[in-house]
Amino acid sequence: MRTSRISRDTARLLSTTRSRPLRQSLSAANAILRDSSQTHRATHGTREGQHESESGAPAGSAVSDSDLSSVPDSGSEFEEAQAVDSRKRKRGRVAPAVLPTVVKQESRDVALAAIASPEKKTKAKKARRAPAKKIKSEDGSVKIEPPSNWEEIYTLTRQMRNENVAPVDTMGCESLADRKASPRDQRFQTLVSLMLSSQTKDTVTSVAIREMQDRMPGGFNLESVIALDPPALNAFINKVGFHNLKTKYIKQAAEILRDKWNSDIPDTIAGLTSLPGVGPKMSYLCMSAAWGRDEGIGVDVHVHRITNLWGWHKTKNPEETRATLESWLPKEKWHDINNLLVGHGQTICLPVGRRCGDCKLADRGLCPSAVVGKKTTIKEDKATVKVEGFDGETATWEKTVVKAEGDIKAEDVAGAVQDIEDIGKETRKRTTRKKL
């Protein structure tokens, strides 16, 4: 019968409404009932016409109370739902499913090296100074124990020198003599080159020597230097440091060599140091380069400065450094160490602006004086978002913001150390890079 079907459909809709959350409004429920009723009429119109013909009642007429006795009172159900909603509002429960968001900030810094190489967990410790030690034996003799890592440092420095050509390799005083000249003239040219090199760049010294070799009347030899007037000799070397004083020294030394040393240079350290303007460093280098005898280490500012940076000793002047090195360094390296450290000081371990980032010793933690710049870091700002729902349940997630901080290069913060080649000149001013 028609009334029983309507009854069943209505009961089904009401049961469905009860299973849903009570937040649904009465108007929404009535709209559902109207849509369902219209659909029912459209679908069962023919069947209703048949019932009309059988019962004699017109279609759509009101049904008896007995026919609708099983239909619940829908109005009372929704009134009860509204009352529950009202009580929850009074208790402070908000009807929407999401409450205001609570954000918890977390941040941490992660080193770039750790991100690029996750397997590297520990940071290499900075090298400690391990100078040569004096050990006194039972018989009273003193033995010098060399620095524990000196061989590794020496080998790595030689590797860097082989990879980087320095001015001393092509324009050093030992290589400036004219190989076409006689051995005596070559020795004299080597001595003059060393005298000119004091407080002067190798590039300037080499140009002056080439000018004398190419343009000096009679060739570059002892007799020609003696024959030249001081102003003419000064004109050849006026680009080097303290050229007026060096002109005087060279003229005096040439006359001494003619009178006391048979027009040749001395073959002893004492004889060389007796010449005006010739010190211990020049004497040992000249003895090695001119006579092929290594009787001592030629210690200039590079050798003195770098060996102190390495922590091999703590000396105050080049002569003290020479005595300390000669006490333990193998003699076969006495000649090589000057070229080694001069070139290293000209290319990587510069007097001003050391390039510790390019040095293998700093990379392996062997140099205690390495200037390590501020590493680039990745800053991760993590925001933990917490969402609390109507029923008390919460949900969280994290949002990450990544920022990279600026890098400071080692040469921007290196200590300024004046080179012997810059003595007498105005100190160069350092500029400080602004922080990013």
Full pLDDT tens readout for the chain, 436 residues: 455 677 777 777 676 655 555 444 455 555 555 655 555 555 455 444 444 444 444 444 444 444 444 444 444 554 555 555 555 555 555 444 444 544 444 444 444 444 444 444 444 566 777 777 777 777 777 778 899 899 999 999 999 999 989 999 988 888 899 999 999 999 999 999 999 998 899 999 999 999 999 999 999 999 999 999 999 999 999 999 999 999 999 999 999 999 999 999 999 999 999 999 999 999 999 999 999 999 999 999 999 999 999 999 999 999 999 999 999 999 999 999 999 999 999 999 999 889 999 999 999 999 999 986 544 344 555 656 555 554 555 556 565 554 444 333 333 333 333 333 333 444 444 444 444 4
Cα 409 from Cα 432, distance rounded (Å): 11
Residue 139 makes CB contacts below 8 A (sequence gap 6+) with: none
Cα 114 from Cα 106, distance rounded (Å): 20
In whole angstroms, how far apart are CA 139 and each of 145, 158, 281, 370? 17, 38, 34, 40
pLDDT for 208? 95
pLDDT for 427? 42
Which of 6, 24, 289, 54 shows the shortest CA–CA distance to 173? 289
Cα 163 from Cα 173, distance rounded (Å): 21
Q: So where are the chain's domains?
A: 2-90, 147-349
Residues 192-244 pLDDT 10s? 999 999 889 999 999 999 999 999 999 999 999 999 999 999 999 999 999 99
Token pair belonging to 249: 């020294």
Cα 167 from Cα 204, distance rounded (Å): 11
Cα 171 from Cα 197, distance rounded (Å): 11
pLDDT for 117? 47
pLDDT for 152? 94
DSSP code for 237: S
The one-letter amino acid code at 333 reads: K
Q: Which CATH number fits domain 147-349: 3.30.1380.20, 1.10.340.30, 1.10.600.10, 3.20.20.140?
A: 1.10.340.30
The one-letter amino acid code at 418 reads: Q
Determine the length of the chain: 436
Cα-Cα-Cα-Cα dihedral sign, residues 419, 420, 422, 427: positive
Which of 236, 229, 231 shows the shortest CA–CA distance to 195? 236
DSSP code for 420: G
Token pair belonging to 40: 């029912």
DSSP code for 98: B
pLDDT for 80? 55
Burial of 157 (0-12, 13-18, 19+ CB in 10 A): buried
Which of 202, 133, 196 shows the shortest CA–CA distance to 172? 202
pLDDT for 374? 45
Residues 378-416 pLDDT 10s? 455 565 655 555 455 555 656 555 444 433 333 333 333
- Rounded (5°) CA angle 346-292-422: 25
Cα 358 from Cα 354, distance rounded (Å): 9
Cα 407 from Cα 435, distance rounded (Å): 9
Which of 366, 293, 321, 348 shows the shortest CA–CA distance to 164? 348
In whole angstroms, how far apart are CA 312 and each of 146, 254, 358? 8, 39, 21
Catalytic annotation, pick one of 123, 126, 251, 281: 281
Token pair belonging to 363: 């990379």
Please tell me whether residue 37 adopts helix, strand or coil conformation.
Answer: helix
Cα 153 from Cα 183, distance rounded (Å): 36
Token pair belonging to 331: 């003699």
Residues 70-82 pLDDT 10s? 444 444 554 555 5
Please say if 281 is a catalytic residue. Answer: yes
pLDDT for 184? 96
Cα 318 from Cα 34, distance rounded (Å): 107
**Cβ atoms of 377 and 387 closer than 8 Å:** no
CB atoms within 10 A of CB 237: 25
DSSP code for 141: -
Torsion of CA 42, 47, 50, 55, to 10 degrees: -100
